[in-house]
Structure 1
Amino acid sequence: MGTIEELGMNLLRACRQNDSTELKILLHQLVETVNTPGDITYLIGPVVKLLPCHNISVKKTAYSVLPRICSLHPDASFLAANTILQDCRDPNPAVKCLAVSTLCSLPPLLQEHAGHALNAALKDGNPRVRQTAVMGCSKVFKHVQHLMFEQGFVDRLYESIRDSDPVVVTSSLLVLDTVLASEGGVVVSRNMAAYLLQRLEDFPDPQLATVLEVLSKYKPQEEEELFKELSMLDPFLVHSSSAAVVVNCVKLFLKLTEEKHPHLKTEIIQRVVTVLKQFLSSGSSRESANHVLDFVLLLTEDIDWLVQFYDSPHLFYPQKYNTDLELALKKLRVLPYICTESNFKEILHTLEEKYCRIPKTCTDSIACVCLISTRMPHFAGSECLNVLIALLDSGDHIACDGVLNRLQDFNLVGFKDDEIRTLIRKVLMKIDLSIKDVPYILPILLGEFGELVDEQSPYVLESLARNFELYDDGMQSLTFTAALKMFLKMPAKCQHIFGEIMEKCLHDMMRNDSEKMLALQQRALKYYQLLKVDVHLVRKMLIAQ
């Protein structure tokens, strides 16, 4: 007798004997077995027989594995149908929820039985059952979309928005938004908006945040209606216990006032900025900080909002990068946008001394330095460049590799020749030209500024030409561009090297028929033909790129 057969028989025996210790072990084995690849045919009968069991742990486990079994053996759903439908009428809400939820997960039964069972559950006196039915509609939509419309579930969900239970209300709104996504989501009428506004105080924070988001779909048509809505929303604008509520309320306020009352924006900002900062403080929850960071990242071009954080860069220094890297990186993404002449040195010092030297935050911190340089005046850009050079000099391999990998995001246009020359020499000292994984920044620097180190750059380019076939498509393309630009700037020193690379692109690589290689060959051929006709035109084309 096989192991799976033994498991089925042992489960039925332990259930009859009500051996709770053995049952716990066997139920765990059942879940593992069903979710492990292999033939589970022998478990169909035992699982179906376990469904009517009055032991709630057994019933929960049997219902939890039934969808998986039925996905592999669809006919098994018909064996379980009578028990499921009977449990949909069970007086115990927990049993009823299990049955309704499972029914909505079994496509073979949906067509025939979903309508009656769901309609009954949506009218049930227990809010947990009604909530399960609403979420069941989402499963029905996933498996058999047309049933949602043919059997009137969309209308029933709209009716459920007036449910006495706030969780049922918000779930109905969210499911409708999914079901009607192709039509723009849930439609919020004037009456629905008025009803939801009147019930705002009934909703716990998570549900309230959802309702505020849904209300943004409605636009009041009259001034009186608009100010009435703003008045009802006002108490939640500084709802200090929930960042999600505050953020969604602020978004709604801004949307309602942006067209005819933009002057209110300043007042809104002044009222909420202190609360937003509190949610970013070290004592606040991860969820709260995450909501505020997502909001601030939407405002990176809105100076009215950003100026409020100029005095608080410490709120965006990652404190929990070891346990919450995602949140830490979001904070780093904000920092460049709140840099000013008065705080950028503090920010750069903090990045250089700490976050640029930590493996988890190194790359993003260096990207942050590069973006600060782009957004700040030139004097700050020089400070940023000094930070990158210091990291290259530090002997910290993690920081050094981070600089080489992100330096292509640093805009060197407008910097003094001496500054750029120093950078290039530092880069050349850190790169091993004998390996195939040469950083992309090297050919970029050679092409743009190779003439500043003309005593070294031709030899470096010669090394790149020698190892050309080792590089990936991107590096080959950049090397070709660098060789072309250096040839135009220093023809006497670079002509033979450029010719060697051109030869490899046009002839030696013709055997490689990959799409990217063909594109490089065609590009090389285009410039070869143009160079024969008009060198000045080629120079203008490269400058325009």
Structure 2
Amino acid sequence: MTDSKYFTTTKKGEIFELKNELNSDKKEKKKEAVKKVIASMTVGKDVSALFPDVVNCMQTDNVELKKLVYLYLMNYAKSQPDLAIMAVNTFVKDCEDPNPLIRALAVRTMGCIRVEKITEYLCDPLRRCMKDEDPYVRKTAAVCVAKLHDMNPALVKEQGFVELLNDLLSDANPMVVANAVAALTEMNEQQTVIEVNSQMVNKLLTALNECTEWGQVFILDALAGYTPRDERETQNICERISPRLAHANAAVVLSTVKVLMKLIDMMPADSDFITQLTKKLAPPMVTLLSAEPEIQYVALRNINLIVQKRPDILKQEMKVFFVKYNDPIYVKMEKLDIMIRLAQQNNIAQVLSELKEYATEVDVDFVRKSVRAIGRCAIKVEASSERCVQTLLELIQTKVNYVVQEAVVVIKDIFRKYPNRYESIISALCENLDTLDEPEARASMIWIIGEYAERIDNADELLESFVEGFHDENTQVQLQLLTAVVKLFLKRPGVAQALVQRVLSLATQDSDNPDLRDRGFIYWRLLSADPAAAKNVVLTEKPLISEETDLLEPSLLEQLVCHIGTLASVYHKPPSAFIDPAKAPLRQINPIPAAKFGSSLLDTSSTPNAARNGSAAAPTVIPSQDQVIADLLSLDLNAPAASANTGAFGGAMSGTTSMGGLDDLLGLGGDPMPAAPTNSASYNPFDGLGGLGGAAPAAPPSQQPASIGGLAEIFGSGGFGGSSGITYPKELWLDASKAMGMQVEGTFVRRGGKIFMEMTITNRAMQAISGFALQFNKNSFGLIPVEQVNPAPILPNQSQNYTIACDTTGAVQVTTPLTNLQVAIKNDINAFYFATTVPLLAYFREDGQMEKREFLEEWKSIPEQNEQQFTLQNTHNMNADAICTKLQQNNIHTVARRQVDNQQLLYHSVKYTNNLNVLSELKVNSQTTSITLSLKSKNLMAIANINEVFQALLN
């Protein structure tokens, strides 16, 4: 009889019965009871009340029973951490059991029990198991180290488990080596614990041939992260792993391809070795296409990347990508895409014959893509364009609605690619005008009529037929119709004067679409001001289109090729896109409303009063990349000293004038920068910043705007003094996938009484990047860089560290929280934007120590409504001396101490870089871990977030 009977119990009082059975003297009855408990746990019943009774069953020689008890423990140890300690002695004892299966089972279970209290007891048994005589125990222990590292990375490092794992790489058993590699790879994803070197590579290659298929995948993934020292070593690795291409497992094949693709890039492009190697890559990938559809799809998505990177590998294998009648639609679509990428002059006849056949299929989506593929072939292979156009005309004659519409769309692209070559087919297209009902097809047809208006006798009538239902058309069609009518007017003014006035009126006066209105006004002003200029603008020669528009961006392609065989290569998205944002800490920032910048970037006098005095509070949001860009596009690039400190809370804000624009910023003098366009969203603050370098000159005191209350007084200009030596770990500010290959990491450090931005720029792109420039958006403390990034080039796969001095003389704009900072960084390719936070501690001055009398007088002078209280947790039970020492090290200065009953009262002062003081009182009770913190300041804004600083220091 099977164990299914255990899942059908619905008795009342079952827990009580199970408790009695678990404590039975009969081994069989006890085993039956544990099975019932596991069955109840599996179907979702809460059997945690039986924890002590199940743990008592661990003392047994029966391996099956022990496995069941361990399974129960793994499930409930988190909810019963104190009771889980009861099982530790048995675990330790089982780790020394003569039976290797029990030893491995014990160490595996201890690794799966994610309870910190048990972690410290795991170290000694785990160390013994890593040196066990049985390879099964050693390979289990290797994986356990990775689990322990996930819970407590510091402990793994302290206890020397990384070195032990490194020793296991030399193990005689290949499975032990594979598991050690898997553990190290997983640990490296959190933080780099070990670098792959040439000695390690030799060990891995030796174990590769004897591993199981999944062990081989782990080893190949580790090899993918290694950079060989020279060409000879590169060739050696290629030769030793290339036999894996013949493996039956698709994962092993794709992992091997991934490593070889990386190594090929490291050898001279014209070497004979590469030619031989690329010939070996094609057959295994072709073999994958004979597997089941799901594996075919994964293989095709990876092949799509390989073809973009190295099309010559599969250029002779076109036939294997021909679609079969029984292929699923997702496989058909991928094959079609790869066929277009491989199409060239010597195989285009075959491809067109296939595509024409596909255009008669029953699947509408597949037919559409096939028709569009014919157009892509015409654009890609010029010699085939005549035949492609003829094929499209034949398809139009079928009068199948969706075929005709797709054909019109691609013919428009062909006209763009080959102007003045195939205009003879326009009449055939016009015959099908009434059948077009899809926006893209209608817009394409309108474009053709407008582009060749001088050759179509009744162009005005055709366009007028579209104008009849102008407001019922899609926006895409309306925009194209507006442009086409203007083209007709410029080419044949006599027949289109009334029509163009009508369309311009419909677009500007009767439409509520801002894009349409803007384009209408532009055309209207062009035509009324200077028809000749309008002709030059609207009828100018257009750039030729190419078929390569759908290729992946080079740096993204490079990244995806390094992840062949993973989810990233299937979705064609970088690995970072799959990280769950819920597991990463989100920084809430309050982007500065665009209204606060005014309509002109360089003239704040036009800013509305409500925006200037901060009466309209902006909501706290987590902005998207687009929002951050919109805010940073409004940066004022005047010299920082010439900017007005915006009063965000009360008081009037005086208008300021431009102080010489970018020339002044560069310290070059010269003419003032012209006023920015009214529509600031289209203005790029980095135009003309190519040679940016050096610091902005400070304006004389007479040019500094007077602050009139509000935030300008609170967070105005201030210097830095003293030295606290505070450092913060670098974090990822800008991912390479979002900045075209430029990765930026950084932190803010306070040294010598100054704030420094420490930044590392890594070039993940395929070409050198240079010409860097840096700009901060307005922020709560007026923080600005007083130095610039060295614009010298950074080569591919190289990093450069920068230390940039900052001060607080810049323009002020309140954010929530106060520590938010929006940054723009430019290189010779483009400008990129990100948001980060500057630790509040960085703004605390070293000379903030107040005298007792001065402290007391200021404390009394601050009204009660400016006092805020918080409850902090003294998790480490620090005494008053330790607390004062810790705070003093971080520029929170002890002023006085006194004892009242069982409480220690500690008084501290903090001085911001703008000379504003914050006073604090800490009530420390030796009998409890709670601490009461009282904060007072003349301005409540200065208190914000300081309680979090105190709590972090206590932790």
- C-alpha spacing 1:285/1:445, structure 2 compared with 1 (3 Å): closer
Does residue 262 in structure 1 map to residue 271 in structure 2? yes
- For 2:482, the equivalent position in structure 1 comes to 484
Alignment partners' CA distance in 2, 1:106 and 1:348: 60
Match of 2:41 in 1: 30
Q: Distance in 1 between matches of 2:11 and 2:379?
A: 64
Structure 2 vs 1, CA of residues 504 and 217 (structure 1 numbering), >3 Å: closer, same or farther? same
Contact kept? 1:160, 1:169, Cα under 8 Å? yes
Counterpart amino acid of residue 466 in structure 1: H
Report the Cα distance in structure 1 between the residues aligned to 2:535 and 2:179, rounded to whole angstroms: 62
User: Residue 317 of structure 1 corresponds to which residue in structure 2?
Assistant: 323
2:508 paired with 1:502: yes
> TM-score, normalized by length of structure 2?
0.44
Which of 239, 250, 253 is 2:246 aligned to? Answer: 239
Shift of 1:193: 1.8
CA contact (8 A) 1:101 1:132 kept: no
Listed one character per residue, the Cα deviations across residues 33-88 of structure 1 (whole Å, up to 9, x for unaligned) are 26xxxxxxx53223664464678777767766766666xxx542332343366346
| CA 538–106 in structure 1, closer or farther in 2 if over 3 Å, else same | farther
Name the structure 2 match of 1:429.
Answer: 435
Give distance in 2, aligned partners of 1:392 and 1:81.
80
Paired amino acid for 1:239:
A
Taking only aligned residues, the RMSD between alpha carbons, in angstroms, comes to 4.7
Do residues 338 (structure 1) and 334 (structure 2) align?
Answer: no
CA distance in 1, matches of 2:119, 2:411: 58
1:225-246 per-position Cα deviation (integer Å, ceiling 9, x unaligned): 5565555456x27636456345
**1:243-277 Cα deviation digits (max 9, x unpaired):** 63453564366245336x62322222344544543
Among 157, 164, 167, the alignment partner of 2:165 is 157
Aligned CA distance change for structure 1 residues 490 and 206 (closer, same or farther; 3 Å): same
Give the Å deviation of 1:99: 6.0
After superposition, residues 202-241 of structure 1 pair within 5 angstroms as 202-221=210-229, 225=233, 228-229=236-237, 232-233=240-241, 236=243, 239=246, 241=248
Show the counterpart of 1:299.
Answer: 307
Would the alpha carbon gap of residues 45 and 388 (structure 1) be closer, same or farther in structure 2, given more than 3 Å must change?
farther
Q: Name which of 87, 90, 100 aligns with 1:83.
A: 87
The reply on whether 1:179 has 2:177 as its aligned counterpart is no
What is the CA-CA distance between 1:429 and the residue it aligns to? 0.3
Identity %: 16
> Which amino acid counterpart does residue 487 of structure 2 have in structure 1?
K
Q: Distance in 2 between matches of 1:185 and 1:365?
A: 50
Aligned letter for 1:334?
A: I
DSSP 3-state at the match of 2:47: helix
**TM-score, normalization: structure 1?**
0.72
Q: Deviations over 1:377-397 (max 9, x none)?
A: 263475267359728946486
1:188 to 190, 196, 205: 196
Is the 1:137–1:175 Cα contact (8 Å) retained in structure 2? Answer: yes
Distance 2:74 2:393 in 1: 56
Aligned residues: 500
Counterpart in the other structure of 2:442:
442
Superposed displacement of residue 134, structure 1:
3.4
What residue in structure 2 maps to residue 277 of structure 1?
286
Q: CA 1:46–1:529 in structure 2 vs 1: closer, same or farther (change >3 Å)?
A: farther
Question: What SS class does the counterpart of residue 44 from structure 2 fall into?
Answer: helix
- Point out the structure with the larger helix share: 1
> In structure 1, what is the equivalent of residue 376 of structure 2?
371
Distance 1:350 1:89, change over 3 A: farther
Residues 26 and 183 from structure 1, CA distance in 2 versus in 1: closer, same or farther, beyond 3 angstroms?
Answer: closer
Following superposition, the deviation at residue 503 of structure 1 comes to 2.1
CA shift at 1:486, angstroms? 1.6
After TM superposition, give the deviation of residue 375 of structure 1 in Å.
1.8
For the Cα contact (< 8 Å) 2:482–2:503, is it kept in 1?
A: no
Residues 271/125 of structure 1: CA separation in 2 closer, same or farther (3 Å cut): same
- Is contact 1:313-1:347 (8 Å) kept? no
- Is 2:482–2:504's contact at 8 Å kept on the other side of the alignment? yes
Q: CA deviation at 1:361?
A: 4.5
Structure 2: distance between partners of 1:67 and 1:364: 52
Conservation of the 8 A alpha-carbon contact between 1:299 and 1:306: yes
Check the 8 A contact 1:84/1:99 in 2, yes or no: no
Match of 2:463 in 1: 457
| Bigger proportion of residues as strand | 2
* 2:143/2:179 contact within 8 Å kept: yes
Larger Rg: 2
- CA-to-aligned-CA distance 1:448-472 (integer Å, 9 cap, x gap): 5444573333322442x2225xxxx
Q: How far did residue 285 of structure 1 move?
A: 9.0
- Could you say if the C-alpha distance between residues 6 and 77 of structure 1 is closer, same or farther in structure 2, counting changes exceeding 3 Å? farther
Residue 467 (str. 1) matches residue 472 (str. 2): yes
- Identify the match of residue 533 of structure 1 among 516, 529, 535: 529
Deviations 1:164-189 (A, max 9, x none): 33333234334433432477795221
SS at match of 1:456: helix
Aligned to 2:933: none
8 Å CA contact 1:134, 1:171 repeated in 2 = yes
Please give the secondary structure, in 2, of the residue aligned with 1:207: helix
CA distance in 2, matches of 1:247, 1:218: 15
Unmatched 5+ residue regions in structure 2?
Answer: 1-9, 490-495, 544-955
2:866 corresponds to: none
Amino acid at match of 2:509: E
Query: Equivalent residues in 2 for 1:58-69 (5 A)?
Result: none
Q: Find the counterpart in structure 1 of residue 206 from structure 2.
A: 198
Q: Distance in 2 between the 1:14 and 1:502 partners?
A: 85
Deviations 1:109-141, CA, capped at 9 Å, x for gaps: 465445345434433444444444433444444
Partners of 1:345 and 1:486 lie apart in 2 by 36
Confirm or deny that 1:416 pairs with 2:414. Answer: no
Unpaired runs of 5+ residues, structure 1, are: 35-41, 432-437, 469-474, 510-516
Say whether 1:353 aligns with 2:357: yes
Tell me, yes or no, if the aligned pair for 1:177 and 1:185 is still in contact at 8 Å.
no
Amino acid at match of 1:357: V
CA positional deviation for 1:146: 4.3
Aligned equivalents of 1:112 and 1:485: distance in 2?
Answer: 74
